[in-house]
């Protein structure tokens, strides 16, 4: 969650005396590029909980987040180059979620600055060259720089003269307390959620929706875009304390956040009818709390959630399987797709591995936080200061090349597990045994949308780090292997009479 903001919820509750303190589509985009991942047939859509490509295959993403939180707000300024895109493909990542900053693209109402968007377009092109798709997300942490956060412009913050208090604690705990207790920040959110007008008589949410329409129009024809994520971890503001419980805050979700999402979806659809739109629960749901949010009845919607189970070790949060079931229930209630778009933010490899196992069991795609990360201070007196959080990333020094000595090899070895990227049918189950390095997959040949069997191949990503020089063997029933021996993308063609395909990948 912009790193690990929710990890401080437990400590914040402790400080407030509210809880016991504890410890813890262009399939030829990559033609001739042997490093590249085969891209899905774009645009991506969905059928119920499943993302699907243009050929009807189920799409399961394993990806990563990239966010440069200081001006000029571009991945390139953080050190990301085309070499990093190639590295991500080698490690088996098939998608990236990248942040765009409202304060950068609209520094004053109605005044557009597309310089950061131009840089993002170059970034998207690098990723696409290696078969990696991109989702664009509007950044938000503690509103924006006015409150020591990031994302939203100062001009949109209406505080009625209330004070912006300094953090009550250092680090993540201080950020959480700011989000709950800062009077000026909470008043700004109250005006935003009410869609109160800016002095130009345009509502604040309407301004935000117009900014989204501007971005969607800019990127609608850019190859490699998979979708738009409305806003990172929307804050309930003054209603935050009512959301600090496992039951969540249904009144905020249903009466405030859902209508806001519908407003933004409408603005995006005014310029782009094709791409997926992702919507997120309110920020505190990342502890595993129940959520009830929706975004209307648009046919291309997905609930994308964040989950940081580290809070559970501090006496807060929900067991991982229970938390996932809560997010599944929300997506199912709206018949929308589901994706875990943030987790990790840590060098705690056992916790990461446990969550990956749970995601596999739930048949979920995911994106790790992050390629590299910094965090804001939460202090309005130092609004543009970011603090490095190297433990959150997969690269040690983002300004240096992504060579082996500059990568977190142990973490990449945990993240780099095989997965069914494109499935010509309906996934039934998959799993990865870390001790034996054995991957197992079973899927029905019946498409999730029904109808005739899919003729496009199933694609299983085999991270090169896991099986160096392609040192794996395959056992399969119901399909024929059509890729070269040891290929980083294992492809399978379904046999005509098969109703189920089973696959096992193991070391040679």
Ordered DSSP codes for 439-471:
EEEEEESS-TT-SSPP-SPEEEE--TTTSGGG-
Distances (CA, A) of 349 to 16, 31, 343, 409, 412: 30, 35, 12, 11, 10
Q: What residues contact residue 32 under an 8 Å CB cut-off, 6+ apart? A: none
Residue 269 sits in the same domain as residue 366: yes
> What's the CATH number where 17 sits?
3.20.20.80
Question: 162 lies in a domain?
Answer: yes
Cα pseudo-dihedral 191, 193, 196, 199, rounded to 10? 70
| 3-state SS, residue 495 | coil
Q: Is the peptide bond before 258 cis (omega within 30 degrees of 0)?
A: no
- For 438, the enclosing helix (H) or strand (E) is strand 438-444
- For 428, the enclosing helix (H) or strand (E) is strand 426-433
> What's the CATH number where 442 sits?
2.60.40.1180
Residue 202 sits in the same domain as residue 150: yes
Residue 380 sits in the same domain as residue 477: no
How confident is the model over 229-285, as pLDDT tens digits?
A: 999 999 999 999 999 889 999 999 999 999 999 999 999 999 999 999 999 999 999
How confident is the model over 293-322, as pLDDT tens digits?
A: 999 999 999 999 999 876 544 445 568 999
Average pLDDT of the residues of the chain: 92
Cβ burial, residue 446 (10 Å; 0-12/13-18/19+): middle
Give the Cβ contact number of residue 339 at 10 Å. 28
Question: 408 lies in a domain?
Answer: no
CB 381 within 8 A of CB 361: no
- For 338, the enclosing helix (H) or strand (E) is strand 337-342
Domain C-terminal end among 353, 375, 394 = 394
Residue 270 sits in the same domain as residue 155: yes
How confident is the model over 200-226, as pLDDT tens digits?
A: 999 999 999 999 999 999 999 999 999
Distances (CA, A) of 420 to 130, 208, 299, 463, 503: 18, 37, 24, 12, 10
The residues pairing with 500 across neighbouring beta strands, listed in sequence order, are: 444
Give me the sheet containing 426-433, strands edge to edge: 426-433, 438-444, 500-507, 472-477
Closest CA to 435 of 417, 462, 460: 417
Residue 380, pLDDT score: 74
How many domains does the chain divide into? Answer: 2
Give dist(CA 111, CA 338) in Å, integer.
35
How confident is the model over 161-204, as pLDDT tens digits?
A: 999 988 777 777 778 888 999 999 999 999 999 999 999 999 99
CB 305 within 8 A of CB 272: no
Domain C-terminal end among 375, 394, 413 = 394
Residue 309, pLDDT score: 76
Indicate the range of 4-13, 113-122, 237-246, 490-499 predicted with least confidence.
4-13
* Alpha carbon 256 to chain centroid, angstroms: 22
CB 52 within 8 A of CB 59: yes
The residues pairing with 432 across neighbouring beta strands, listed in sequence order, are: 439
Distances (CA, A) of 461 to 255, 416, 434, 480: 41, 9, 16, 16
Q: What is the mean pLDDT of residues 446-462?
A: 98
Model confidence, pTM: 0.93
Give dist(CA 153, CA 80) in Å, integer.
25
Give dist(CA 250, CA 285) in Å, integer.
11
Length of the chain: 508
Residue 174, pLDDT score: 78
| 3-state SS, residue 180 | helix
Residue 31, pLDDT score: 41
Residue 183 sits in the same domain as residue 324: yes
Residue 186 sits in the same domain as residue 254: yes
**Better pLDDT: 81 or 387:** 81
Residue 17 sits in the same domain as residue 149: yes
CB 146 within 8 A of CB 380: yes
Residue 34, pLDDT score: 61
Q: Residue 411 phi/psi, 5° resolution?
A: -70, -40
Give dist(CA 411, CA 414) in Å, integer.
5
How confident is the model over 337-383, as pLDDT tens digits?
A: 999 999 999 999 999 999 999 999 999 999 999 999 987 878 777 76
Question: 463 lies in a domain?
Answer: yes
Question: 416 lies in a domain?
Answer: no
Domain that holds residue 369: 5-394
Residue 89 sits in the same domain as residue 203: yes
Residue 438 sits in the same domain as residue 384: no
Domain C-terminal end among 348, 378, 394 = 394
Give dist(CA 111, CA 118) in Å, integer.
16
Question: 102 lies in a domain?
Answer: yes
Residue 385 sits in the same domain as residue 477: no
Q: Percent of the chain beyond pLDDT 90?
A: 84
End-to-end CA distance of the chain: 39
Question: 207 lies in a domain?
Answer: yes
Question: 415 lies in a domain?
Answer: no
Residue 317, pLDDT score: 56
Residue 72 sits in the same domain as residue 148: yes
| Confidence bin at 457 (pLDDT 50/70/90) | very high
Indicate the range of 12-26, 401-415, 492-506 predicted with least confidence.
12-26
Residue 385 sits in the same domain as residue 300: yes
Flag whether pLDDT at 57 surpasses 80: yes
CB 71 within 8 A of CB 151: no
Give dist(CA 110, CA 216) in Å, integer.
16
Helices (H), 334-453: 349-361, 409-415
Task: Write b or e for each residue in 392-421: b if 16 or more Cβ atoms lie within 10 A of its Cβ, otherwise e.
Answer: bbbbeebeeebeeeebbeebbbbbbbbbbb
| Confidence bin at 28 (pLDDT 50/70/90) | very low
DSSP 254: I
Flag whether pLDDT at 9 surpasses 90: no
Question: 403 lies in a domain?
Answer: no
């Amino acid at each position: 969650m912009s790193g690990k903001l929710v990890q401080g919820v437990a400590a914040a509750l402790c400080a407030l005396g509210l809880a016991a303190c504890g410890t813890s589509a262009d399939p030829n985009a990559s033609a001739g590029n042997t490093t590249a991942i085969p891209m899905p047939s774009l645009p991506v859509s969905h059928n119920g909980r499943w993302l699907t490509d243009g050929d009807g295959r189920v799409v399961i993403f394993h990806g990563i987040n990239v966010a440069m939180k200081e001006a000029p707000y571009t991945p390139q300024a953080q050190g990301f180059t085309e070499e990093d895109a190639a590295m991500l493909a080698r490690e088996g990542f098939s998608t990236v979620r990248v942040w765009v900053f409202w304060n950068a693209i609209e520094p004053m109402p109605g005044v557009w600055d597309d310089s950061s968007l131009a840089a993002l377009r170059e970034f998207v092109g690098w990723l696409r060259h290696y078969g990696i798709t991109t989702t664009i997300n509007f950044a938000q942490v503690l509103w924006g720089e006015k409150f020591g956060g990031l994302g939203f412009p100062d001009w949109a913050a209406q505080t009625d003269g209330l004070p912006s208090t300094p953090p009550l604690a250092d680090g993540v705990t201080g950020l959480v307390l700011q989000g709950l207790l800062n009077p000026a920040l909470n008043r700004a959110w109250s005006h935003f959620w009410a869609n109160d007008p800016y002095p130009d008589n345009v509502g604040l949410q309407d301004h935000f929706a117009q900014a989204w329409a501007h971005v969607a129009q800019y990127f609608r024809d850019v190859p490699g875009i998979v979708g738009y994520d409305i806003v990172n971890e929307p804050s309930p503001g003054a209603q935050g304390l009512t959301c600090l419980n496992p039951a969540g805050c249904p009144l905020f979700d249903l009466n405030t956040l859902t209508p806001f999402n519908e407003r933004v979806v409408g603005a995006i659809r005014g310029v782009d009818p094709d791409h997926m739109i992702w919507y997120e629960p309110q920020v505190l749901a990342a502890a595993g709390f129940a959520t009830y949010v929706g975004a209307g009845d648009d046919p291309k919607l997905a609930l994308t959630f964040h989950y940081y189970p580290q809070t559970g070790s501090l006496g807060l949060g929900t067991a991982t399987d229970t938390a996932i079931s809560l997010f599944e229930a929300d997506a199912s209630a709206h018949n929308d797709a589901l994706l875990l778009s943030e987790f990790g933010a840590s060098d705690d490899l056992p916790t990461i591995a446990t969550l990956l196992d749970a995601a596999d069991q739930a048949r979920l795609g995911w994106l790790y936080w992050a390629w590299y990360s910094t965090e804001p201070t939460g202090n309005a007196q130092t609004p543009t200061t970011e603090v490095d959080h190297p433990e959150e990333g997969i690269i040690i020094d983002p300004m240096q090349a992504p060579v082996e000595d500059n990568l977190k090899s142990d973490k990449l070895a945990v993240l780099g597990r095989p997965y069914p990227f494109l499935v010509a049918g309906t996934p039934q189950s998959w799993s990865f045994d870390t001790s034996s390095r054995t991957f197992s997959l079973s899927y029905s040949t019946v498409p999730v949308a029904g109808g005739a069997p899919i003729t496009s191949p199933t694609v299983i990503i085999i991270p090169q780090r896991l099986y160096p020089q392609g040192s794996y063997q395959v056992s399969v029933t119901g399909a024929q292997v059509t890729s070269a021996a040891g290929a980083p993308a294992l492809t399978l063609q379904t046999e005509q009479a098969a109703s189920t395909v089973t696959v096992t990948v193991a070391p040679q």
